[in-house]
Amino acid sequence: QVQLVESGGTLVQAGGSLTLSCAASGRNISGYVMGWFRQGPGKEHEFVGTMSPSGSTMYADSPEGRFTISRDNPKNMVYLQMKSLKVENTAVYYCAADRSSEILRHAGRYEFWGQGTRVTVSS
């Protein structure tokens, strides 16, 4: 079992930057694909980005290069760096993990989920 706890969500002005953290416990995440998803007001879960155990990444089109995922396997941490935030990026952001060597962009493929951290971008 892997437990995931997100942190770093807060209120930020449009144009600002924010880094979310995901702390994993229970297992070392070095062999896990890690993903970030978000759920905005009245919206369904939306794929943000993912990083495979080897470091390959895939991002959704909408962040347009403004979001970057990184991981620190010895510390069992995953990060989502967000720049030039927009009001439409307001959402609860979730960290997810699955014991797969592949990049996974579909939420249903992930076995473990955190509780989410709320990001609010004001205009």
pLDDT (tens digit per residue) in 80-116: 999 999 999 999 999 999 999 899 999 999 999 999 9
Q: How many Å separate Cα 106 from the centre of its chain?
A: 13
Q: What pLDDT shows up at residue 90?
A: 95
The one-character DSSP state at 55 is S
Distance CA 75, CA 72 (A): 5
Distance CA 67, CA 44 (A): 20
Residue 61: left if φ>0, alpha if ψ -120 to 50, beta else—which one? alpha
- How many percent of the chain have pLDDT more than 90? 89
